[in-house]
Every structure is written in C-alpha cells, then in structure tokens.
Amino acid sequence: MSGQALRDFLSMVQRDYPEHFLRVTTPIDRSFESTAIVAELERAGQHPVIVFENVKGFSMPLVTNVAANRKLLAAILDVDPANLATSFRDRCQNYLPAEVVGDAPWQDVVLEGDDIDLTKLPIPIQFPVDAAPYITAGQICARDPETGVDTTGFHRLMLKGKNRLGVSLHSRRRMYEFHRRAEERGEPLPAAITLGIHPLHYMGSMAFHYPPGVRKFEIIGALFGESYRLGRTGTDGLEVPWGAEIVIEGHILNDVREPEGPFGEFTGYASYRSTQNVFVAHRVQMRSDAMLHSVVSGMAADHIRISCISREAEILNSLRRNLPNVRAVHVPAETCGALMAIVQMKKTAAGQPQQAIMAAFGTETYCKCVIVVDDDVDIFNLTDVMWAVATRARADRDLFLIPGAMGAILDPASDPEDNTVTKVGVDATKPSGRDYAERLVIDDEQRARAREILAGMGIAGMQ
C-alpha cells in the first residue's frame, strides 16, 4: 500500500505506470478544454491521469481523469482488471474502523469569513450547457442527525459566489435523507466538502448496499486493507480524509431552494433536474501547495467507470446471497454505468431469472432494465447479449414490467413530475426442462487451424 492520499496515487502512477500519466504544461482555458482533451484521448482509447499545470488565470494545478483507467484501478486493488467488480465486492465487506490522526496537511492554510473566495479555484466549466463552473470531485461528508453515523459521497456543486454553492442530492441516498431529517428538525445540515481523494476513496464512496450503522470510511478502509486516516474539522466534529487537498466546511441550508443547473450529466444529456439545495461555506482549509481535483463529467470514463464496477458488485452481492448459480453481472458503460444490468446464470430451475430480476431491482434504484442470460452468453459482449435476447426471449412470456417504480431523477425518461419509471426485466434464458435449438459453435481447434491457414496466406493479425 503506497499511501492514502491523491498525491500518493499520482506518485504511484508516475513511478509504476508513466505511460498512463500526462502532465500538460500548455496553458488551457478553464472552459471546456480539459474535458475536450480527455474526450479526444478517450476516442484514441487512452485514459491517462492528467495534471493540467497551467489553467489560465489561476495558480493552482488541476488534476483530473483519476478514475478512468481500469488498469490503474485494478493496480490499486492489486487484482487482475477482469476481477475488479468481484474484488471490490469481497473487499468492501471487511469493514475496518477509521483512525483519527492530528495535524492534517490541509490545515496549512485557513480561510474564514470574508477571506473565503471559492472563485479563486480553477474550477472547470465542462460543457457549454453548464450553468457555471462546477466542482465535480467534492466528497460531501455529514452526519445522520438521528444516529450520528456519517457518510461521504460525491454531489455536484455549482459555483454561485465566494462562499455559496448550489448542490443537488438527486441520488436520494444517505445525504439526501440526512438533510431531510435535519430540515424536519428545522436545522441546516453541517457538512464538509473534501477535494482531492485517492481513487479507492472514490470507489468506496460509491458503495450503497451496506448496514445503516456502518460508516463509508470503514468501507474505504476495507478497500485500503488498513484503517482509513481521518482529520477532524471544527464543524460538528466531522471527520474527513487526512490526506485531502482542500476541505470546505459549512452547512447545507434548511428550507432554502435555489435554481441549480443545467449541468452535463452521466446520462450524456444536459440535466435541468436538481434537488436545488444550497451549501454555504464558513471555513476553507487547504495545503499550501494544494491541487484542485475534478472529475470529468458527462459520459466520460472518469465519471462512469466506477459506477459500473460498484453496481456490478452490489447487484452480484445481492443475487449471490440467494442464487448461488448467478455467475456474473455487467452494468455496461454504454447504459451510463447505471441504467441496465445484465445477469449471467447457470439456470437450474424455472423462475430463477424472475427471482434475479426482482433482487437486482431491489438492490439498485437507477437500474431500469435487467436482462438475464444463460452461462454460454458473454455478458461483456453486447453483441452476444443482443443475440440471446433476439433468439431466446419471447415478448408474451419473458418480459416483466414494473410501472411506477422509483427511478433516477436524472434519467430523462423518468417522469418529470415524480421521477418514476417503468422497469423492465427480460428473461433471455432458454426454457428449462426441454431441448432448445442448438447453438452453432466453431471450436478452438478449428479456429486455430483457420488462423494458421490465413497466416500462411499472409493475412495480417491472424496469429
């Protein structure tokens, strides 16, 4: 383990994977340029971690694309890239108590009152539709006003003024509920925004299916394989990562809603939907040489890759508890890392796909389509999955609709009034208990012989 801070990760990548590290010294504009550069690299199949040293008009460097690279994510978990979801699932559950350590490096600089000026941070505007510069790597930490158990997670933050940020809690998980509970008591929710985290923190913060008494910091510790080190803030005794770059303390206001958005979201659309909350900062602390961490928004891998992994892991975890014959789950990036899950099972009894569909929907709110296939179908190959749907599913018997179900607020297909969707389960497995059409196969020996013949004819790429 090479350290728990973002900078430890950057050092590891520079040292061990220099081909996946890019330092850009050319001056870039904060508007659109960092996102466009990442998009061009993605088109070329490249996912480097990037440090933009020179954002015009700002002195602080910008670090981005930290969680886009499957190879690097596998390296920090010390597993094969193919086993990322299963390793994440296994490791997440070995909760480890966090450890509070004094004198965090982010205590170097302390700004309060009129000295706070968030407009001095090189916060990108990522898409022309974005209403303002957006902090996209802000991990917000707050305590449950009822139990005192804290949580941490990303929530987009729209720059509104020197100490004012718009925030959307649309995923309606713990933070949304904590704020609702505070508001019910007539109180604001004390909160701290952490900027600059290690990708294992990013990964752990995306866990959602765990007991209410567990802290996310205990899950992040489980991923590190050692207690996660925290520093204590002066706001409600909130604890935040010791290795952070910048910590912004404040409150999410009660009974205040203001326009927030539009913003270029993970769905690939401009999102005009928001819970329209407001965060007001009363203290900012940072390292003297702090860097600004930003997640590339839209459908960029930096935004979606970990969503795929955590959802695959959580759904697999639920299904395996009841259906040991479930082999794997794929949440494709093409479906925004959220909206569809494909389940592979070795079906042993009729009705098992329906059982899997119900459990998957019960685990994950954003998911609105579950396709179940047999174990001869490669679920990581969407062509194979579509073939199975086309040849094994019968609409009158194998489609299951759940109207009026809770969906993702940001899904443009969800109801604009109440955000419900109709969820669909598709059983694309062969019927059990009777013969079915025989799948055509070309076996490995035949393939090898064909490649040999073609290679002998000088046809490239055949070996």
Looking at beta carbons only, is 136 or 227 nearer to ligand FMN? 136
Shortest separation between residue 443's beta carbon and ligand FMN, angstroms: 42
Give the contacts of 3 (CB within 8 A, at least 6 positions apart).
Answer: 9, 11, 12, 198, 243
Looking at beta carbons only, is 195 or 388 nearer to ligand FMN? 195
Residue 214 CB neighbours (<10 A): 15
What separation in angstroms does the CA of 246 have from each of 68, 224, 236, 361?
A: 22, 21, 18, 37
Residues 81 and 70: beta-carbon distance below 8 Å: yes
Shortest separation between residue 71's beta carbon and ligand FMN, angstroms: 19
Looking at beta carbons only, is 4 or 277 nearer to ligand FMN? 277
Looking at beta carbons only, is 295 or 426 nearer to ligand FMN? 295
Distance spanning both ends of the chain, measured CA to CA: 38
Distance CA 96, CA 4 (A): 14
Distance CA 456, CA 463 (A): 10
Give the contacts of 117 (CB within 8 A, at least 6 positions apart).
Answer: 111, 162, 163
Q: Which two tokens stand for residue 46?
A: 């490249």
Shortest separation between residue 139's beta carbon and ligand FMN, angstroms: 8
State whether residue 335 is helix, strand or coil.
helix
State whether residue 365 is helix, strand or coil.
coil
Looking at beta carbons only, is 325 or 420 nearer to ligand FMN? 420
Shortest separation between residue 79's beta carbon and ligand FMN, angstroms: 20
Residue 184 CB neighbours (<10 A): 11
Looking at beta carbons only, is 302 or 374 nearer to ligand FMN? 302
Looking at beta carbons only, is 122 or 199 nearer to ligand FMN? 199
Looking at beta carbons only, is 291 or 301 nearer to ligand FMN? 301
Sheet strand arrangement including 49-52: 21-24, 49-52, 62-64, 292-294
Looking at beta carbons only, is 48 or 204 nearer to ligand FMN? 204
Residue nearest to ligand FMN (CB): 153
The DSSP letter of residue 410 is T
Shortest separation between residue 440's beta carbon and ligand FMN, angstroms: 41
State whether residue 282 is helix, strand or coil.
strand
Shortest separation between residue 280's beta carbon and ligand FMN, angstroms: 17
Shortest separation between residue 241's beta carbon and ligand FMN, angstroms: 14
Vertex 183 angle, CA 180 and 185, to 5°: 115
Sheet strand arrangement including 229-232: 99-100, 229-232, 239-241
Shortest separation between residue 428's beta carbon and ligand FMN, angstroms: 29
State whether residue 366 is helix, strand or coil.
coil
Residue 164 bridge partners (DSSP): 280
Looking at beta carbons only, is 69 or 205 nearer to ligand FMN? 205
Shortest separation between residue 130's beta carbon and ligand FMN, angstroms: 13
Shortest separation between residue 50's beta carbon and ligand FMN, angstroms: 16
Residue 103 burial class via C-beta count within 10 angstroms: exposed 0-12, middle 13-18, buried 19 and up: exposed
Q: Which parts of this chain interact with ligand FMN (CB under 6 A)?
A: 136, 151, 153-156, 168-171, 173-175, 205-206, 208, 295, 303, 307
